[in-house]
Amino acid sequence: MNLDFLAKPMGMLVKLLYDMVSVFDTQYLSAYAISIILSTIIFKLIVMPLTLKQTKSMKKMQELNPKIQELQEKYGKDPQTLQRKQMELYKEAEYSPFAGCLPMLIQFPILIAFFYVIRSPEVYVFKNLEAYDLINKAFFWINDLRYTENFIFEGGIVNGLSMGGMTLPFIGAAVPIFAAISAFTTYLTSKMTMSTQPAGNEQAMATQKSMNMMMPVMIFVFGVQFPAGLGLYWVVSNVFQLIQQYVIMNSSKNPKEELK
């Protein structure tokens, strides 16, 4: 999938932000890192109407869960009647079970395009490798956001927190903090989402729990292998989404009114 038509304007946004904050460039927090953080927040704000709709839909499902469980207990042995009663309940509550799918489908190519930008800044942001090499790419404990957190530079300089000269299997010689935070926030988001799902049979629930445990592990594995700049993007994006989801799920406003 070629998403250059999306990646190019996103790269222009990162470059614009970089030029605006370049005066704040420091040894440990580069203007490039700041531009990644700001562009991630701007991106999340742009798609916020979609994510708000999705989160409010999750909250509505949470409110309907007790009634759905009652229907399952009453019509559990008659799947056709159970499905019909659930659809009637959804219609009465003005809830669509597919309301949360469309925002995810729309956001997915945009997310991939954003990954392109951060993975290849010399192509989409700074236009050539020489210009990219000249900028400061540090973020506190990370020397260069182009490399993975556990990357070992020539001359014995370690990018990250050294493990006393030891090399851990797969992880390497540095602590992948971004990967760990990404995995943890993904777990929290998945757990919060799972609490909104209607209770099903034990096998389905066990499968869902396994998926919720496997996803953070996969995110951690990917985070260790991806450039640290992608890790920074993922952490900021996850934290933003987690806060947004928590605020909406715990708001006192009637979810039926919110969905209108």
Q: What are 228-250's pLDDT values in tens digits? A: 898 899 899 989 988 888 887 77
Phi and psi, residue 94, nearest 5°: 55, 45
**Which run of H or of E encompasses 93?**
none
Higher per-residue pLDDT: 62 or 89 = 89
**Which run of H or of E encompasses 252?**
none
Per-residue model confidence (pLDDT) at position 34: 96
pLDDT, tens digit (0-9, with 9 covering 90-100), for 25-73: 998 899 999 999 999 999 889 888 888 877 777 778 778 888 888 888 8
pLDDT, tens digit (0-9, with 9 covering 90-100), for 90-112: 888 877 767 666 666 777 888 78
Whether the CB-CB separation of 143 and 157 falls below 8 Å is answered with yes
Per-residue model confidence (pLDDT) at position 195: 65
Q: What residue type is 20 in one-letter code?
A: M
Per-residue model confidence (pLDDT) at position 163: 37
pLDDT of 170 higher than 70: no
Alpha carbons 45 and 243: distance in angstroms, whole number: 13
Average pLDDT score, the chain: 79
In percent, the amount of the chain with pLDDT more than 70 equals 78
Per-residue model confidence (pLDDT) at position 48: 86
In terms of average pLDDT, the best of 12-26, 78-92, 190-204 is 12-26
Could you give the 3-state DSSP secondary structure of residue 70? Answer: helix
pLDDT of 183 higher than 60: yes
Per-residue model confidence (pLDDT) at position 204: 57
- Range in 129-143, 154-168, 179-193 with the lowest mean pLDDT: 154-168
pLDDT of 84 higher than 80: yes
Query: Hey, how many other C-beta atoms are within 10 angstroms of the C-beta on 193?
Result: 19
pTM: 0.78
